[in-house]
């Protein structure tokens, strides 16, 4: 096993273990609401001509009382980028299009419009280089300053434990990235986003994996607290309409600007897993 293969396998094991813990916590919230909803898991295999081991993944999907639709995907894929796409990826080129990618991706759309939707993903890629990326951002149809502050404080703590510059850098990156130019608005109230934390050696891999683990732990710590805080709130038809209109903007961002959506489509990923981020219902005025 090469060093990079070992790194990919180590990262994969973490992403899968994080998936299991997140899904268990979300199912526990459903039990608290009197729901028997559970995640249903569908495995898929990637296909690439001439590639005997292109990998694949598992899509976990739950539709319940609190979580109207939540998807948690894990995948590990390997192969070659199309030449025109390779040049857009760190460390890849038309001459060196090979890649391996492993990661977890989560999007939760909530039944109650007072409960914020959320997105989280972390990933490890190898091309001519190797690096971690990811983050999490909060997407409330009806924002609460307390929720926003608690979400950011938890990720600030995770970042500060590793580098005093990380939080401000990655918060700004999220603010710049999760923006809908044609609307002139942000997708939500932000969070953190990072990419290209490169791993040229074992020490860098261990350092960046430790940070990426803490991003996952921060999410698992703070988001269930926000759900429990708001999930029994009363809401009006006007609140629900606000949620549906906001979901339309969320869908616009994911279909037009989201890198993860583009990466999945360009690398032959599972269509249902890629588009699980879209809300179950949305409205455009």
Has residue 284 been placed in a domain?
no
Residues 6+ apart with CB under 8 A from 8: 76, 100, 102, 124, 126
Has residue 87 been placed in a domain?
yes
pLDDT for 165 equals: 98
Does 233 score more than 70 pLDDT? yes
Q: Is residue 196 annotated as part of the catalytic site, yes or no?
A: no
Which residue is catalytic, options 7, 109, 119, 186? 119
Split into its structural domains, the chain has a count of 1
Distance CA 63, CA 38 (A): 8
pLDDT tens digits for 87-109? Answer: 888 888 888 888 999 999 999 99
Percentage of the chain beyond pLDDT 70 is: 100
Contact 73, 107 (CB under 8 A): no
Does 230 score more than 60 pLDDT? yes
Of 151-160, 166-175, 203-212, 270-279, the one with minimum mean pLDDT is 270-279
Over the range 37-71, which residues count as b (16 or more CB within 10 Å of their CB) and which as e? bebeeeebebeeeeeeebbbbbbbbbbbbbbbbbb
For the chain, the three-class secondary structure string (H helix, E strand, C coil) is CCHHHHHHHHHHHHHHHHHHHHHHHHHHHHHHCCCCCCCEEEEEECCCCCCCCCEEEEEEEECCCCEEEEEEEEEEEEEECCHHHHCCCCCCCCCCCEEEEEEEEEEEEECCCCCCEEEEEEEEEECCCEEEEEEEEEECCCCCHHHHHHHHHHHHHHHHCCCCCHHHHHHHHHHHHCEECCCCEECCCEEEEEEEEECCCHHHHHHHHHHHHHHHHHHHHHHHHHHHHHCCCCCCHHHHHHHHHHHHHHHHHHHHCCHHHHHHHHCCCCHHHHHHHCCCCCCCC
Q: How high is the mean pLDDT of the chain?
A: 94
pLDDT for 87 equals: 83
pLDDT for 1 equals: 55
pLDDT tens digits for 43-73? Answer: 999 888 888 889 999 999 999 999 999 999 9
Has residue 283 been placed in a domain?
no
Report the CATH number at residue 195. 3.40.1500.10
pLDDT for 120 equals: 98
pLDDT tens digits for 123-173? Answer: 999 999 999 999 999 999 999 999 999 999 999 999 999 999 999 999 999
pLDDT for 260 equals: 84
Distance CA 266, CA 23 (A): 28
Distance CA 131, CA 103 (A): 12
Has residue 124 been placed in a domain?
yes
pLDDT for 47 equals: 86
The residue-averaged pLDDT of 202-215 equals 98
pLDDT tens digits for 16-53? Answer: 999 999 999 999 999 999 999 999 999 999 888 888 88
Has residue 61 been placed in a domain?
yes
Distance CA 91, CA 126 (A): 8
Q: Which residue has the higher pLDDT, 164 or 267?
A: 164
Has residue 98 been placed in a domain?
yes
Q: How many CB atoms lie within 10 A of CB 119?
A: 25
Domain span holding position 233: 3-277
Residue 182 Ramachandran class (φ > 0 left, ψ -120 to 50 alpha, else beta):
alpha
Has residue 161 been placed in a domain?
yes
């Amino acid at each position: 096993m090469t060093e990079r293969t070992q790194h990919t396998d180590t990262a994969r094991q973490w992403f899968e273990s994080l998936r299991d813990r997140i899904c268990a916590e979300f199912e526990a919230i459903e039990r608290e609401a009197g729901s028997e909803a559970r995640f249903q898991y569908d495995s898929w295999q990637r296909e690439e001509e001439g590639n005997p081991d292109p990998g694949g993944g598992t899509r976990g999907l739950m539709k319940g009382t609190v979580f109207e639709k939540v998807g948690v995907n894990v995948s590990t894929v390997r192969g070659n980028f199309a030449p025109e796409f390779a040049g857009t990826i760190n460390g890849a080129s038309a001459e060196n299009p090979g890649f391996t990618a492993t990661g977890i991706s989560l999007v939760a759309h909530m039944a109650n419009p007072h409960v914020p939707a959320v997105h989280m993903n972390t990933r490890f890629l190898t091309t001519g280089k190797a690096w971690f990326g990811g983050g999490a951002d909060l997407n409330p149809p009806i924002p609460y300053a307390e929720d926003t502050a608690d979400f950011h404080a938890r990720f600030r703590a995770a970042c500060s434990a590793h580098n005093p510059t990380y939080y401000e850098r990655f918060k700004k990156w999220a603010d710049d990235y999760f923006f809908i130019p044609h609307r002139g608005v942000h997708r939500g109230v932000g969070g953190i986003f990072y990419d290209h934390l490169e791993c040229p050696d074992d020490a860098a891999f261990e350092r960046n994996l430790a940070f990426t683990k803490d991003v996952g732990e921060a999410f698992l710590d703070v988001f269930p607290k926000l759900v429990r805080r708001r999930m029994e709130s009363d809401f009006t038809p006007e609140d629900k309409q606000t949620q549906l209109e906001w979901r339309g903007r969320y869908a616009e961002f994911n279909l037009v600007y989201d890198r993860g959506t583009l990466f999945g489509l360009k690398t032959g990923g599972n269509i249902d897993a890629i588009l699980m981020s879209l809300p179950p219902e949305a409205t455009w005025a």
